[in-house]
Amino acid sequence: MVAAIRKLSLRHMPYFAHTLNLILKDSVAAVADLEEIRWKVKKLMCYFRTSTVAKENLPALQHDMKQQELKLIQEVETRWNSTFLMLEHFLAVKDPVSAAMSSLDASLPVIFHQDWTAMDEAIKSLKPFFVVTEMSAEKHVTAYNLVGDLNRSIRKRCEAHESRR
């Protein structure tokens, strides 16, 4: 595609969502605390997907707690937004997961209060990027629109963060 653009002497603009995906993937990986939380969540996700007892226990607990039954989402290494969705869904089932973990294998990683808080903050901070990368899959969305929406979302998030200080 790039070669064809060069031959036609057109201006090449890299695919915005792909570039953003690479930046976010590297950025998320660069935050040590978040990387440790991701590791814990992935371990627990694997356990909940492979253990018959855990797999049956989680939906039952969600039902008992009158929560919507959400399935846990496993991240895909090449897609940063799957990391976002994995953390978002895991946080959404915090109470049932915590209840299930209290009666399960003691060798599982423990999600501490500060981990849940960090996960919540990461999700809030990454949400504008998720929205923009999801929008890029829609038809007729231009990079200009995406950049404008992202800029407004980041500004709003930064202002909210500053006002809490």
pTM for the whole structure: 0.71
Report percent pLDDT > 90 for the chain. 22
pLDDT, mean over the chain: 80
- Comparing 116 with 161, which gets the higher pLDDT? 116
Which of 62-71, 82-91, 126-135, 156-165 is predicted least confidently? 156-165
- Comparing 1 with 53, which gets the higher pLDDT? 53
Find the DSSP H helices in the chain: 2-7, 16-30, 32-50, 52-64, 80-92, 94-102, 113-135, 143-164
Hey, what long-range contacts does 13-17 have (CB within 8 A, 24 or more apart)?
A: 13/143, 16/136, 16/143, 16/146, 16/147, 17/132, 17/133, 17/136, 17/137, 17/146
Contact 82, 75 (CB under 8 A): yes
